[in-house]
Amino acid sequence: MESRPAELAPPPAAGRLPVRSKLAWGVGGLGENIANSAILSLVFPIFNVALGFSTLAIGLAMAVSRIADAVIDPIVGNLTDRTRSRWGRRRPWMFAGSILMSLCFTAVWFLPALMPQLPRLVTVHLQAQDHAVTQAAVGVHGQHDAREWYGVSLKELTVAPGQQGTFTVALLHAPEHDVRLRVELADHDGGDRGVTVMPAELLLTAANWQAGGTVTVSATAASKGDVVLRVLPAADVLDVPLLQSAGITSYSSLQMFIAFALICLLFYFSFSVFVIPYSGLGIELTDDYAERTNLQIYRLVASFCASLLVGYLYLWSQQLGAWLGGDEVTGVRLVGAAIGLLVLLSTMVPALLCRERFAHREDAQKEHLPLLRAIRLTAANKSFRMLMGSVFAVFMGLFFSLPFMTYIGIYYVCLGDKLLAAEIGGAMTVVQVTGQFLAMPLIAWAGRRVDKKVILLTGLSISMVGYASSWWLFTPEHPWLQIIPVVVAAWGLCACWAVNGSFAADICDEDELDTGHRREGVYSAVFALVYKTAIGIVALGSGALLAWAGVVGQESMLTDDTLLKVRVAYLAIPLLFLGLAMVSMWRYPLSRERVVEIQSQLHCRRQG
């Protein structure tokens, strides 16, 4: 009989795991968290604030890619449950996913350098000169990316009612043929904005490309508010109402949308190829009630280290971009490449070093359930439905708040100072992660003494207090106070992250007692499906809400009305969903006593 490879010898069936085993598995949480969080943290500041890509288009691309990928997750989960190899069920998938995920993550940030230049935007503030907004002069021939070939002299222009203002549009390189550039209103509501633009089209040739053309903006006596002008080549105009309603107004933005959606789809697919077997491996490593929570804490600690880095990525992108003679769009390429390498190294550790408990068990070799039946049985588990309802609500509340926090931090608290917002974001992350590290021993202590449901409900309550306090502590008079609400909310949520994986392990035991099958992969896949569905809804919903609030892109400042809408959304949406999460778990049935009873019955069945 062929001997089993020594490195795949199963760990103890119960009790405390060796620290090296918990460390090897937990390190994967660093790459998992930083890859996913960096995308969510940087996509709006880079693609919208810096490039002017529509928030609605960003949200739609991410939503399509995540929902499409979520459909594939149960297939991946079932395949990992059925995989048989000399390296186990999970580890081959984790190895492949680690490589693909790091490559796709890096590719996202090189995308702007490979696509045609997006239209330039100029915000016109229609107000009296004594209330003028500081005009953001960028210089036509100043810092620009390698793919940019035309520019504007101002990002913002203040025009008093009845007066005029001007800005210049010029090419960055001598043209081979004449170029026509159009200047138009960025919105298409058809209303009279009280603004005229002359000329509406500029002709730039080999003779005048460097001096450029001057655009005059005139405002009527009744004009007020803000108007956004779009400057783009006449040949780039895409006059398709359906696409325009999604913020795709040019052929260049359509190309960006398609490329961005495809890269996101590849990234999230590779993310699933790693995370689903990685989570399934964590579920099966131990059957001890308290040790399961302790194991998840190792993953959380690695995730907190990732969060510490994520808080500085935007600041580093700006600093590296300035060092390279560009802006944050240039700097984020170096940041993306470095983080991609870190993702590869950290996710390779559990793929290479962890051992699988059920990889060679005789009853694990029996025929597995068909995919559809496995999904039906998973959905029929009442405990799992309650957990997924809570997880879905928490993800919805958390991820809805992230893009809104970006705009509140830059435009409301820091009054348009992106560098200050990035510095505060970095300091906020340090305080947040320090507090989460200090909370881990307390959560581990509580996990040995009280039911996990008590830990979860307490954490949700603390998080709701944090979000509620943002209304008073997000203030431009004291910008550093914004750290307090965000940190308190994060502290509460870290209790949720600590017990969710432990809940799933208990549910898999209950499921094995009921069905006779170990299906950690399918449960992890459904967990990922719920997670990605929430992300998809949030991506589309937050992009639509930001567009509805009045966010266009490339602004140095947002209007008071827009900021009020963004602040209300940041406060109300998380409170609603966190409250729903508490309701979902209120009658969760798997107490400590019930789990011990289930495991005793499973032990008798396996011995028999």
Whole-prediction pTM: 0.72
Residue pLDDT, tens place only, 215-234: 999 888 666 777 888 899 99
What pLDDT shows up at residue 131? 46
What pLDDT shows up at residue 212? 87
What pLDDT shows up at residue 440? 78
Q: Of all residues in the chain, what percent are helix, strand and coil, respectively (each to 5)?
A: 65, 10, 25
What pLDDT shows up at residue 258? 94
What pLDDT shows up at residue 576? 93
pLDDT band per the 50, 70, 90 thresholds, residue 370:
low
pLDDT band per the 50, 70, 90 thresholds, residue 525:
confident
Nearest partner of 373 among 78, 122, 595, judged by Cα? 78
CA separation, residue 221 to residues 132, 161, 495, 513 (Å): 16, 4, 57, 76
What does the mean pLDDT of the chain come to?
82
Percent of the chain with pLDDT over 90: 19
Length in residues, the chain = 608
Rounded to an integer, the average pLDDT of 548-563 is: 78
What pLDDT shows up at residue 108? 95
Q: Identify the top-confidence range among 69-83, 466-480, 586-600.
A: 466-480
Residue partners of 309: CB distance under 8 A and separation at least 6:
34, 339, 342
What pLDDT shows up at residue 139? 53
CB atoms within 10 A of CB 85: 12
What pLDDT shows up at residue 140? 53
Rounded to an integer, the average pLDDT of 350-378 is: 65
Nearest partner of 406 among 137, 62, 46, judged by Cα? 46
Between 295 and 43, the more confident residue is: 43
Rounded to an integer, the average pLDDT of 598-602 is: 84
Q: Which of these ranges, 173-177, 443-447, 584-588, 597-601, has the smallest mean pLDDT?
A: 443-447
pLDDT band per the 50, 70, 90 thresholds, residue 13:
very low
What pLDDT shows up at residue 91? 86
Which residues does residue 165 pair with via DSSP β-bridges, in sequence order? Answer: 217
pLDDT band per the 50, 70, 90 thresholds, residue 8:
very low
Q: Identify the top-confidence range among 145-149, 270-274, 602-606.
A: 270-274
Percent of the chain with pLDDT over 70: 88
Rounded to an integer, the average pLDDT of 531-558 is: 76
Rounded to an integer, the average pLDDT of 481-492 is: 87
What pLDDT shows up at residue 10? 40
pLDDT band per the 50, 70, 90 thresholds, residue 201:
very high
Nearest partner of 485 among 500, 471, 497, judged by Cα? 471
What pLDDT shows up at residue 432? 79
Tell me how far apart the alpha carbons of residues 222 and 87 are, in angstroms, rounded to a whole number: 73
Task: Specify the DSSP element, H or E, that contains 167.
Answer: strand 164-171
